[in-house]
Amino acid sequence: MIILNRRHLLSLAGASMALASCGQGAETSAPKITLKSAWMRPPPGSRDTSAAYLVIQNEGGADTLLSASSPLADEVQMHISEMKDDVMSMRREDAVAIPAHGTVTYTPGGRHLMVFGIQDGVKAGDKLTLTLTFKRAGVITVEGVVGSGPS
Ligand SMILES: [Cu+2]
């Protein structure tokens, strides 16, 4: 015989209610995505290429990041840096899985958004707008900064 104390019984009741309210369960429930901590390094010298970073937080079902863009640049690509035979290299990702109830972090040394064709005069302190398109959640925009880290 299994004896549960009152506290366990209450938490079990809470869990089953939460499952019931999910309806179809975590796999098929709608993604609930929040973008935060967006920033981009100022393009060095006369170059018009840089890298941008952000945190993709998902409190719902699984989704897929399909593309990114910014009004201050011609093109934004999803990239990932990898260490292979002591050499750091990067490759483009066409789609990035966003797990259910998970977080995907774009940070220096790992995943980054490669920003091409940055407009002249973009400098530290400027506002950064990034627009990400997800398979299920659609288009989501986040405001950030140009600088040495998230504001
Ligand atoms: Cu890159």
Measured in Å, residue 84 CA sits from the centre of ligand 1 at 15
At position 142, the amino acid (one-letter code) is: V
Confidence of residue 5 (pLDDT cuts 50, 70, 90): low
Can you tell me the mean pLDDT for 44-65? 96
Measured in Å, residue 26 CA sits from the centre of ligand 1 at 32
Measured in Å, residue 121 CA sits from the centre of ligand 1 at 22
CA distance 80 to 108: 10
Measured in Å, residue 151 CA sits from the centre of ligand 1 at 22
Q: Which two tokens stand for residue 147?
A: 């600088």
CA distance 92 to 6: 53
Q: Is the pLDDT of residue 98 over 70?
A: yes
Question: What pLDDT, in 10s, does the model give residues 99-116?
Answer: 999 999 999 999 999 999
Q: Three-state SS for 52?
A: strand
Question: What pLDDT, in 10s, does the model give residues 114-150?
Answer: 999 999 999 999 999 999 999 999 999 999 999 999 9
Asked if residue 106 lies in contact with residue 141, where contact means CB atoms within 8 angstroms, the answer is: no
Measured in Å, residue 138 CA sits from the centre of ligand 1 at 24
Measured in Å, residue 82 CA sits from the centre of ligand 1 at 10
φ, ψ of residue 82 to 5 degrees: the values are: -135, 145
Q: How high is the pLDDT of residue 151?
A: 79
Confidence of residue 50 (pLDDT cuts 50, 70, 90): very high
CATH no. of 27-146: 2.60.40.1890
Which strand (E) or helix (H) includes residue 118?
Answer: strand 111-118
Q: How high is the pLDDT of residue 29?
A: 94
CA distance 50 to 119: 11
Question: What pLDDT, in 10s, does the model give residues 16-49?
Answer: 445 544 444 545 799 999 999 999 999 988 899 9
CA distance 64 to 42: 28
CA distance 78 to 93: 5
Can you tell me the mean pLDDT for 57-82? 97
Angle at CA of residue 44, ends 43 and 49, nearest 5°: 45
Q: Is the pLDDT of residue 9 over 50?
A: no
What global pTM score does this model have? 0.80
Strand 73-84 to strand 87-92: parallel, antiparallel, or no bridges (unpaired)?
A: antiparallel
Domain ranges of the chain: 27-146
Q: How high is the pLDDT of residue 23?
A: 46
